[in-house]
Amino acid sequence: MVKKILISVVCFCSLYVVFAGASAPNVLTVGGAVKQPLSLSFDDLAKRAQVTVRLAEVTSDKNYNGVFLYSGVPLKTILENAQIEKTGAAFKKHLDIAVVVKDRTGKSAVLSWGEIFYKNPSDIVVALSATPVAPHHTNCSECHQASFYEAALNKLKRKIGFPKLVVANDFFTDRSIENISHIEVVDLKKDKPAKKMDTLYAPTFTIAGSKGKTVEIKDLKAYRHIDITAKEVGDGRGYHGIKHFSGVNLRELFANSGIYPEADTVFLVSSPDGYQATFSYGEIFLAPGGERIVIADKMDRKSLKDGGKFILVPPDDLAADRDVKAVNRIEIISMESAKK
């Protein structure tokens, strides 16, 4: 009985522990392809409007690090303050921009412009404080051995390094890194001059791996298809209805092509007219929504003709501008190589 009471106290008390500003560096800098580079103190960040998100921290190697309510500033807000700017680019949109967030040891998390700006701002946050979320059930010994629940409860009391990048929609939280110190906005400078075409069309597309392997895809008949429904709402042309697509998930397409990207990569998807968009490894492989990002070859049960033969569709984006019609190339780019 005494043992159970003590366990209850541990579970109950941990709910009220708040980690605020622990191990915070003096500044967070923002640089790269921005008009206004920033050097922000912890107080500078704290003055901005904050949001709160819940994160159950389990990395892809199955390491559990607790459940916390994080409060902080949307990364989108910080980048808007820095004013992303492309210079000398033929393709003016920001859709092909990548963002690299680094901690004080040099560890990095890679994001795409689209997953920051075409998702809700609270999805990706620079956190400044955290409150642990303790389980309501306090008799932990009824279900588990002490070696399991004590280790899990101790995670709620761990020291967290702030500022911390929180990518709330990732299933595995590998990109939610602590003690971040620098945000680099990267213009990949891979754009090509826009080519006017009477009919936008590409009969095949290539996947160009970062290690030199290239695969040409002529059709998707041999691949398992999934059906998705997307609202076509663009920033420029507004609402164009609901579309029904059938296509192949990017994860499966890469695996069946024998291409296995690294975590620091982005995928630059382009068409013959120069239109292109970037997607990060994390949003394809770590986020549940990555299962729904497809290369489509059918719309409304018919093979694509207009804007075809293949269209990349990220159906969960809040704007349809990253839909790439007539896909003719997917380039896998290592961000380490891109910055050299």
- CA 30, chain centre distance (Å): 18
Q: What is the pLDDT of residue 146?
A: 64
Place of tokens 């691949």: 223
* Domains 2-187 and 205-338 belong to one CATH topology: yes
Question: Which phi and psi angles does 236 have, rounded to 5°?
Answer: -90, -50
User: Do 331 and 190 form a contact (C-beta atoms < 8 A)?
Assistant: yes
Whether 97 has a pLDDT exceeding 60, the answer reads yes
Q: Does residue 5 come out as left (phi exceeding 0), alpha (psi in the -120 to 50 range) or beta?
A: alpha
| Alpha carbons 231 and 214: distance in angstroms, whole number | 33
- Pair of tokens at residue 184: 């680099």
- Section 75-81 average pLDDT: 98
- Pair of tokens at residue 16: 């009220």
Q: What is the pLDDT of residue 3?
A: 36
Q: Which of 112, 299, 310 is nearest to 207 (CA)?
A: 310
Q: What is the pLDDT of residue 277?
A: 97
Q: What is the pLDDT of residue 160?
A: 97
Place of tokens 């492309």: 86
Whether 288 has a pLDDT exceeding 80, the answer reads yes
Task: Please calculate the CA angle 62-119-304 and round it to the nearest 5 degrees.
Answer: 100
* Cβ count within 10 A of residue 36: 10
Q: What is the pLDDT of residue 197?
A: 76
Whether 235 has a pLDDT exceeding 60, the answer reads yes
Whether 162 has a pLDDT exceeding 90, the answer reads yes
Q: What is the pLDDT of residue 21?
A: 46
Q: What is the pLDDT of residue 224?
A: 96
Q: What is the pLDDT of residue 339?
A: 57
Q: What is the pLDDT of residue 299?
A: 93
pLDDT confidence of 5, banded at 50, 70, 90? very low
Whether 312 has a pLDDT exceeding 70, the answer reads yes
Q: What is the pLDDT of residue 210?
A: 74
For the chain, the average pLDDT equals 88
Beta strands in 218-263, from DSSP E residues, in sequence order: 226-234, 238-249
Q: What is the pLDDT of residue 136?
A: 80
Higher confidence at residue 52 or residue 9? 52
- Section 32-45 average pLDDT: 96
pLDDT digits (tens, 9 = 90+) for 255-287: 999 999 999 999 999 999 999 999 999 999 999
- Section 9-33 average pLDDT: 59
Whether 17 has a pLDDT exceeding 60, the answer reads no
Tell me: domain 2-187, CATH 3.90.420.10, correct? yes
Q: Write the CATH number of the domain with boundaries 205-338.
A: 3.90.420.10
pLDDT digits (tens, 9 = 90+) for 172-219: 999 999 999 999 999 998 877 667 777 889 999 999 987 778 999 999
Q: What is the pLDDT of residue 147?
A: 66
Q: What is the pLDDT of residue 109?
A: 98
Whether 7 has a pLDDT exceeding 50, the answer reads no
Containing 217, the helix (H) or strand (E) segment is strand 214-217
Task: Please calculate the CA angle 175-178-183 and round it to the nearest 5 degrees.
Answer: 70
309 prior amide bond cis, ω within 30: yes
Q: What is the pLDDT of residue 336?
A: 82
User: Do 72 and 127 form a contact (C-beta atoms < 8 A)?
Assistant: yes
Composition of the chain by helix, strand, coil, percent to 5: 20, 35, 40
Delimit the domains of the chain by residue range: 2-187, 205-338
Q: What is the pTM of this model?
A: 0.90
